[in-house]
Amino acid sequence: MARHRVGRRRGLVVVLVLVLVLGVVAALAAVWLRSRPVDPVASPSSPPSAGPPALYVEPAGPAVEQVKAYEAAGRTADAKLIREIADRPVAAWFADETTDPAARARDLVTAAAAAGKVPVLTLYRIPQRDCGSHSGGGAATPAEYSSWVASIAAAIAGQRAVVIVEPDAVAQAVQGCLSAAERTERYRLLGQAIDTLAANPQLTIYLDGGNPSWITDPARMGDALQKAGVARADGFALNVANFETTAANIKYGTKLSKRLGGAHFVIDTSRNGNGPAKKTNHDGHWCNPPGRALGDVPTLQTGHELVDAYLWIKRPGESDGACGRGAPPAGQWWPDYALELARG
């Protein structure tokens, strides 16, 4: 009988030791999981071994067609240069297209999902867009805009993507091209757009925040971004369609992030390889300036804690507007400028 009691005591000790060891292991695992960096566009359903996602390259577009045209004409050197654009992931813009934007968005995210990649979409149709300047246009009414956003959100439901919300919209509101009532309405529409998109947890959403040389005071921009609902997005975007250096954007974005409680951001590096042009006049500084170059290649691995991605949001080779040098209207493909950028 004594031997049986001793055996039971020994068994109990072994069990207690095992419980203690397993508890320590579980605690260490929990600490490790909390300390892991979070992938900004990882799918919740992705297996742990899937690795970081890659950005989606559309198989068609003006740069792809330009490569084919140059190759057919025997301009192999020029075709090679344009491949520097055609072979990179660039954002798909949704603006005033006459085709069904929802169908286009659905096709895009479906193709990207089939390839195991992440597409980038840019929404650019806010009422009074660009305050009537080179990229003027947009939805005719707030209701039309909200319906348009909802149609795109429904089309990409359940799919993962990076979405850039309304380049220039907040910065122009701060700049003062809208009345007080119009500014309030714009902030409301932007916040509503974020909420509509955020209903899909697979999306990573960034509200545009201008660039370092536009609204230079982070306090003013931070306040405006808050009014527009940035806290309900995944962060903000900088340098869309501009030429400020990556370093300048990181410096500005870090200051802005502090105003926003540590918000993350993405940077458009599509054309900032040589930095901005000399400020001779407003248009010459940002509208198809000569001597610019392609910037850092698009990536979701920037090595910077606050910078989720370097993206090519503006499509290199598409015009900023008919602002001299024979440039076509904003958004139209301009092969001569594409070659300039690729040559650097």
Active site residues: 130, 168, 320
Exposure class string for 214-243: b at 16+ Cβ within 10 A, else e: bbeebeebbebbbbbbbeebbbbbbbbbbb
Give, to the nearest 10 degrees, the angle between helix 218-227 and helix 246-259. Answer: 60
What DSSP element (H or E) covers 219?
helix 218-227
Q: How far apart are the first and last CA of the chain?
A: 90
Residue whose structure tokens are 């042009």: 277
For the residues of 319-341, what is the DSSP string, one character each?
-S-S-STT--STT-B-HHHHHHH
Q: How far apart are CA 294 and CA 292, in angstroms?
A: 7
> What does the block give as tokens for 331?
């958004």
DSSP annotation of 117 = E
